[in-house]
Amino acid sequence: MAGNAMAVICPSSLTLILLFAFTLAPVAHAIWLNVPTTGTKCVSEEIQSNVVVLADYVVVSEDHGLIPTISVKVTSPYGNNLHHRENVTHGQFAFTTQEAGNYLACFWSDSHSHGGGEVSVNIDWKTGIAAKDWESVARKEKIEGVELELRKLEGAVEAIHENLLYLKSREAEMRTVSESTNGRVAWFSIMSLGICIAVSSLQVLYLKRFFQKKKLI
């Protein structure tokens, strides 16, 4: 009986664990942008280093005869160019992050290519475990079913662990900056108080000498 009960509980427990892990792990984002005829629309995401990023973008137009074109540029936190295309209706970019920070993807319309109006762009943005091709992994390693789900769970747990370490390091950096700022504010307050006392003392001495010269005191 115990064996049968275990056989019944394990799949549901595994499902709950997988749902919990994939909720915390990096996931895919479907984004809709309305790009104006003039100006640029950008999306950004703060990503840690050594994370795979995969994104597909496509222009969505009701007029299938004339699809407007756009230009795309993706840059790293340090301003390095990771992807740049012009006069396209769709495309894809993929890279592994080299430094932690905000990665920026900017889109602008090639207004000369259509009659005007906003251009709708659909972006499918995936990071981390969500960008991994699990079908290829299953075929290559010849795994399926529960074993494949366990491999996904392992990847999700690793991603969560890396995110927690990244958040911990960011918290330490912010705490250091906060403590440094508080120290500077304290020194500035002390200096301001000292200057106020010195100026007040000089004013008292000046007024005392002034009244003495006028023989008022």
pLDDT of residue 8: 34
User: What's the token pair of residue 114?
Assistant: 């259509």
Residue 20 has pLDDT above 50, yes or no: no
Q: Regarding the domain delimited by 32-133, which CATH topology (the fold level of the hierarchy) does it fall under? A: Jelly Rolls (2.60.120)
| 126 C-beta neighbours (distance < 10 Å), count | 19
pLDDT of residue 113: 53
pLDDT of residue 84: 94
pLDDT of residue 210: 82
Task: Indicate the pLDDT class of residue 26, thresholds 50, 70 and 90.
Answer: low
Cβ contacts of 153 within 8 Å, gap of 6 or more: 14, 17, 18, 21
Compute the CA torsion angle 155, 161, 163, 169 (nearest 10 deg). -150
Q: Which amino acid is at 130?
A: A
Task: Indicate the pLDDT class of residue 48, thresholds 50, 70 and 90.
Answer: confident
**What is the percent of the chain where pLDDT is above 90?**
30
| 69 C-beta neighbours (distance < 10 Å), count | 18
Residue 117 has pLDDT above 60, yes or no: yes
Q: How do the domains of the chain map onto residue ranges?
A: 32-133
Which of 27-31, 76-80, 108-112, 199-203 comes out lowest in average pLDDT?
Answer: 27-31
CB hemisphere CA count around 176 (13 angstroms): 6
**Three-class DSSP labels, the chain:** CHHHHHHHHHHHHHHHHHHHHHHHCCCCEEEEEEECCCCEEEEEEEECCCCEEEEEEEEECCCCCCCCCEEEEEECCCCCEEEEEEEECEEEEEEECCCCEEEEEEEEECHHHCCCCCEEEEEEEEEHHHHCCHHHHHHHHCCCCHHHHHHHHHHHHHHHHHHHHHHHHHHHHHHHHHHHHHHHHHHHHHHHHHHHHHHHHHHHHHHHHHHHHCCCC
User: What's the token pair of residue 34?
Assistant: 């309305």
Phi, psi torsion values for 96, nearest 5 degrees: -110, 125
Question: Distance between CA atoms of 95 and 82, rounded to whole angstroms?
Answer: 8
Q: CA nearest 149: which of 21, 29, 6?
A: 21
The mean predicted confidence, pLDDT, of the chain is: 79
Residue 119 has pLDDT above 90, yes or no: no
Phi, psi torsion values for 39, nearest 5 degrees: 100, 180
> Does residue 121 or residue 152 have the better pLDDT?
121
